[in-house]
Amino acid sequence: MTLEVQRDGKHSFVGRNERGAEVRVGRAGAEGAFSPSELLQIAAAGCSAVTAEELITRRVGEDSKFRVTVSADRREGASELDAVHVAFDLDVSGLGESQREALAGAVDRAIERLCTVRRTLVKGIPVTESFPKE
């Protein structure tokens, strides 16, 4: 899988995959673009949503809509996040209390076991850079 980020202007970049998807990347606050830390948070929320989708639709209904929000803790002036918080927003009013608890537990276990982004963030991994020598 080839991913790339290409500069297309001052503080303006486009991330692409080989399937043709694109995402605009820029500094925090840049119009029409995600900052890198926002993309990290979106990746955590998106991975959680994709991982939980089957569990949710199986119990709540195939046509159920849900939203996953994400926020992060960051010390003022810090160049790192201290925590990422993912929250599911869906209508579970048709489920009994024990069914809601069972669904929440199943979603938590699935995300802990299968969500690559969450597992990687929790583990912490080396990140390397290379730069042309000539």
Q: Which CATH class is domain 35-123?
A: alpha beta
Strand partners, 85: 71
Quote the pLDDT of residue 1: 75
Domain boundaries, the chain: 1-34, 35-123
Q: Are 44 and 86 in contact (CB under 8 A)?
A: yes
Q: Average pLDDT of 20-36?
A: 95
The pLDDT tens digits for 62-120 are: 999 999 999 999 999 999 999 999 999 999 999 999 999 999 999 999 999 999 999 99
Quote the pLDDT of residue 120: 97
pTM of the model: 0.92
The pLDDT tens digits for 34-45 are: 999 999 999 999
pLDDT greater than 80 at residue 131 = yes
How far apart CA 112 and CA 106 sit, in angstroms, is 10
Quote the pLDDT of residue 37: 96
Residue for token pair 């583990």: 123
Q: Integer distance in angstroms from the first to the last C-alpha of the chain? A: 26
pLDDT greater than 80 at residue 50 = yes
How far apart CA 64 and CA 88 sit, in angstroms, is 13
Task: State how far the alpha carbon of 21 is from the alpha carbons of 11, 15, 17, 37, 99, in Å.
Answer: 20, 8, 6, 19, 37
51: amino acid identity, one letter:
T
How far apart CA 73 and CA 85 sit, in angstroms, is 8
How far apart CA 121 and CA 134 sit, in angstroms, is 34
Q: Average pLDDT of 49-68?
A: 97
